[in-house]
């Protein structure tokens, strides 16, 4: 790795809700990459933070009865605490409400305004509240937001615009001549497709305070605040001294890798590069978009109740196992599926059986046959036979791991390390140190066990960036501290005569509790037909807006509804077609059971159930009396 510095960033997270697995994943990925670069001796900087302005945060504050700043201050702690528990080693944490950020955003805006890169104009068009974005008539898909499919509002107002359109040709050329800029390649093609098939519009970078007050005031017009994305994207440079600390800025910028989820590709590969171009600042070397974590095959969503809570997983299986699973299971760029079954399977096979077992075997045999000490076998490896084969496999893991970081195929890097771990276990089977000991071949036993210990040392160093706590414990057994860059390829690093430290099993096997094995509740039996407060609270009732409706083919009673539940779009099948026509239900705000397990009705997936009142053959939908500011409200 020839780079002389490495700067990695995560998106900054909205503080409208607590962190979930998606946030944890990008942050762990950045942490693992940062750790690897440190391990390879590259000066490294790792930035994460929170996106604290804009409509989402203001709405969350209103919902929670807080001021927006209180909302930010309370939620940011949850992110910071989780990062601490997840052993995240970020060098800085930026909050966009901090003066150091706001001041520079205003300076950038003023400079762009003075140079006519930003201008004022009357705007007439369509606005999606959820995405906080403007669209032209042409952009809309079936009259709805092209990004999220929700209803858009017609608006007319004065605003400020960034001359993004003039950079269209330049950006196409830049992406085509810098294949490393957008990764994976197919995401670059996605952005190029968008740029080649559409006329790029200027970007509206303001919001009138009358509509949204929570944001950074425009320095040249106090009636407006800055569009949240224009403010947020700048965090990547305000945090590292842009316009305040040239030395620091020049040391780290351009960023080596900006990690994002695939849903925020346009903002990072169209808005961000054109903003930087207008500012006269170099572009980041790479924007890397990863896929989504799904629950099984379904999108995670709060209202479906299938969002993986990182804290729960950590409590159950430990931080390092959680980090390992996320990195080993996802092929970067693709979506991946999270299930507890897959987690337990991988934990038991890779960590408990292969790695944990190898450590116990090696330590036990060193205890039994070598007086509990690592014997002396010199600084060179035996250059033939099973010894050579094993050491070659270990060294191949070093090479594979390093190249997997460059090519962002971390899962194959990890699999090369696990292959080396298994190879040590096979090496024991070939050499059978227990038989050698019986035969009194002490030197041969010493050679075998030292080679195993050295192999474990290298594997633990390669796994350290992913599992820092467990690998520190493993290395301590052999009297080693943190891994050092030049020790990956060296042999004989463990000092001869080192006394082996005792250690409890590193990864004890875990069992996935089957439903019937879960402890039986000791609560008194309830009278029949009576439910408890907890039973009520388990049913998640939400309001939902009906966006579309149509009859299900071949089923007289069924309507297929497309509904909006807060930020999410869902499909629901309801047996109301004999009481309501499709047109009658569109636009109604209904009440649904949001955490019902999805089911197929006549082959059509239904994600929830709507509530009705019925007497005899009459049936009426339960609807909401009057307007609420958004759908997805809790019904209580
Ligand atoms: N605030 C913006 C980012 C501004 S960066 C200048 C934002 N925040 S977010 O909190 O909504 O999302 C942050 C990241 O989490 C995104 O990259 C998104 O892709 C990621 N994830 C959210 N849910 C996810 C999964 N289920 N799986 C993987 N990542 C997903 O967008």
Q: How many CB atoms lie within 10 A of CB 333?
A: 17
CA of 581 to the centre of ligand 1 (A): 38
Query: CA-CA distances (angstroms) from residue 282 to 185, 254, 274, 615?
Result: 21, 6, 10, 68
Structure-token pair, residue 422: 């298994």
In the chain, % of residues over pLDDT 90: 69
CA of 567 to the centre of ligand 1 (A): 13
Q: Whose CA is nearest to atom 13 of ligand 1?
A: 13
Q: Whose CA is nearest to atom 22 of ligand 1?
A: 22
Q: How many CA atoms lie within 13 A of 211 on its CB side?
A: 18
The strand pair at 541-551 and 589-593 is best described as antiparallel
Closest atom of ligand 1 relative to the 11 alpha carbon: 5
Report residues whose beta carbon is within 6 angstroms of any ligand 1 atom.
11-14, 22-23, 25-26, 51, 232-233, 260-261, 263-264, 292-293, 300
Identify which of 264, 294, 329, 331 to mutate to test ligand 1's pocket (most ligand atoms within 8 A of the CB). Answer: 264
Instruction: Round to whole Å and give the CA distance between 308 and 298.
Output: 12
Instruction: Reply yes or no on whether the pLDDT at 44 is more than 60.
Output: yes
Q: Whose CA is nearest to atom 12 of ligand 1?
A: 13
Residue whose structure tokens are 């690998």:
471
Mean pLDDT to the nearest integer, 452-469: 97
CA of 48 to the centre of ligand 1 (A): 12
When pLDDT is cut at 50, 70 and 90, the band that residue 280 belongs to is: very high
Per-residue pLDDT of 357-366, as tens digits, reads: 999 999 999 9
CA of 260 to the centre of ligand 1 (A): 7
Mean pLDDT to the nearest integer, 356-382: 89
Q: Which of 228, 229, 248, 230 is nearest to 240 (CA)?
A: 248
Alpha helices, DSSP H, located in 370-441? 385-406, 410-431, 433-438
CA of 21 to the centre of ligand 1 (A): 10
Per-residue pLDDT of 547-564, as tens digits, reads: 888 988 878 888 999 988
The pLDDT value given to residue 4: 86
Instruction: Reply yes or no on whether the pLDDT at 533 is more than 80.
Output: no
Task: Give yes or no for a contact between 29 and 46, defined as CB atoms under 8 angstroms apart.
Answer: no
Instruction: Reply yes or no on whether the pLDDT at 308 is more than 90.
Output: no
Per-residue pLDDT of 177-234, as tens digits, reads: 999 999 999 999 999 999 999 999 999 999 999 989 999 999 999 999 999 999 999 9
Residues 6+ apart with CB under 8 A from 373: 366, 497, 498, 499, 500
The strand pair at 44-51 and 6-9 is best described as parallel
When pLDDT is cut at 50, 70 and 90, the band that residue 616 belongs to is: low
Q: Which of 394-408, 459-473, 499-513 has the lowest mean pLDDT?
A: 499-513
CA of 10 to the centre of ligand 1 (A): 9
Instruction: Reply yes or no on whether the pLDDT at 538 is more than 80.
Output: no
Residues 6+ apart with CB under 8 A from 357: 425
C-alpha angle 485/236/17, rounded to 5°?
A: 105
308 vs 220 pLDDT, higher one? 220
* Structural Rg of the chain based on CA atoms: 29
Structure-token pair, residue 603: 């082959």
Q: Whose CA is nearest to atom 16 of ligand 1?
A: 261
Identify which of 26, 30, 57 to mutate to test ligand 1's pocket (most ligand atoms within 8 A of the CB). Answer: 26
Task: Give yes or no for a contact between 305 and 540, defined as CB atoms under 8 angstroms apart.
Answer: yes
Domains and CATH numbers, the chain: 339-487 (1.10.730.10), 533-621 (2.40.50.140)
10 Å CB burial of residue 618 (0-12, 13-18, 19+) is exposed
Closest atom of ligand 1 relative to the 16 alpha carbon: 10
In the chain, % of residues over pLDDT 70: 95
């Amino acid at each position: 790795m020839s780079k002389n510095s490495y700067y990695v960033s995560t998106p900054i997270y909205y503080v409208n809700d607590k962190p979930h697995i998606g946030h944890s994943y990008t942050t762990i990925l950045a942490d693992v990459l940062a750790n690897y670069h440190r391990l390879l001796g590259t000066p490294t900087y790792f930035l994460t933070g929170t996106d604290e302005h804009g409509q989402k945060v203001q709405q969350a504050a209103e919902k929670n009865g807080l001021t927006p700043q209180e909302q930010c201050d309370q939620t940011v702690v949850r992110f910071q605490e989780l990062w601490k528990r997840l052993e995240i080693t970020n060098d800085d944490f930026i909050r966009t409400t901090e003066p150091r950020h706001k001041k520079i955003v205003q300076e950038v805006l003023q400079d762009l305004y003075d140079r006519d890169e930003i201008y004022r104009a009357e705007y007439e068009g369509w606005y999606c509240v959820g995405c906080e974005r403007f669209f032209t008539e042409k952009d809309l898909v079936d009259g709805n937001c092209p990004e999220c499919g929700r209803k858009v509002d017609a608006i007319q107002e004065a605003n400020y615009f960034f001359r993004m359109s003039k950079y269209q040709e330049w950006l196409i050329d830049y992406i085509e001549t810098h294949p490393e800029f957008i990764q994976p390649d197919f995401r670059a093609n996605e952005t190029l497709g968008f740029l080649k098939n559409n006329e790029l519009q200027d970007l509206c970078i303001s919001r009138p305070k009358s509509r949204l007050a929570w944001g950074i005031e425009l320095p040249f017009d106090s009636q407006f605040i800055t569009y949240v994305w224009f403010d947020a994207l700048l965090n990547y440079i305000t945090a590292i001294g842009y316009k305040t600390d040239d030395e620091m800025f020049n040391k780290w910028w351009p960023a080596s890798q900006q990690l994002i989820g695939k849903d925020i590709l346009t903002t990072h590969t169209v808005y961000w590069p054109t903003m930087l171009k207008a500012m006269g600042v170099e572009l980041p070397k790479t924007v890397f978009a990863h896929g989504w974590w799904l629950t099984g095959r379904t999108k995670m969503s709060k209202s479906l109740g299938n969002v993986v809570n990182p804290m729960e997983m950590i409590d159950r299986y430990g931080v390092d196992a959680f980090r390992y699973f996320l990195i080993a299971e996802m092929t970067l760029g693709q979506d991946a599926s999270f299930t507890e079954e897959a987690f337990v399977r991988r934990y038991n096979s890779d960590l408990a059986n292969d790695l944990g077992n190898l450590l116990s075997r090696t330590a036990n045999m060193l205890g039994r046959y070598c007086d509990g000490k690592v014997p002396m076998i010199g600084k060179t490896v035996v250059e033939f036979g099973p010894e050579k084969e094993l050491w070659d496999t270990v060294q191949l893991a070093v090479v594979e791991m390093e190249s997997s970081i460059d090519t962002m195929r971390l899962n194959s890097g990890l699999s090369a390390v696990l292959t080396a771990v298994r190879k040590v276990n096979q090496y024991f089977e070939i050499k059978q140190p227990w038989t050698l000991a019986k035969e009194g071949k002490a030197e041969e036993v010493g050679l075998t066990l030292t080679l195993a210990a050295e192999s474990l040392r290298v594997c633990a160093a390669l796994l350290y960036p992913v599992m820092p706590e467990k690998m520190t414990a493993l290395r301590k057994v052999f009297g080693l501290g943190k891994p050092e860059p030049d020790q990956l390829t060296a042999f004989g690093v463990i000092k001869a005569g080192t006394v082996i430290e005792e250690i409890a099993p590193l990864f004890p096997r875990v069992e996935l509790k089957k439903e019937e094995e879960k402890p039986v509740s000791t609560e008194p039996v309830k009278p029949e037909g009576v439910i408890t407060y907890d039973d009520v609270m388990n049913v998640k009732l939400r309001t939902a807006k009906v966006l579309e409706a149509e009859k299900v083919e071949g089923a007289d009673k069924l309507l297929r509804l497309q509904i909006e539940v807060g930020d999410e779009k869902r499909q629901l099948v309801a047996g109301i077609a004999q009481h309501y026509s499709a047109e009658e239900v569109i636009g109604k705000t209904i009440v649904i059971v949001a955490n019902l397990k999805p089911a197929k009705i006549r082959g059509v997936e239904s994600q929830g159930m709507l509530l009705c009142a019925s007497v005899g053959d009459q049936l009426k939908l339960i609807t909401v009396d009057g307007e609420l500011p958004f759908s997805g409200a809790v019904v209580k």
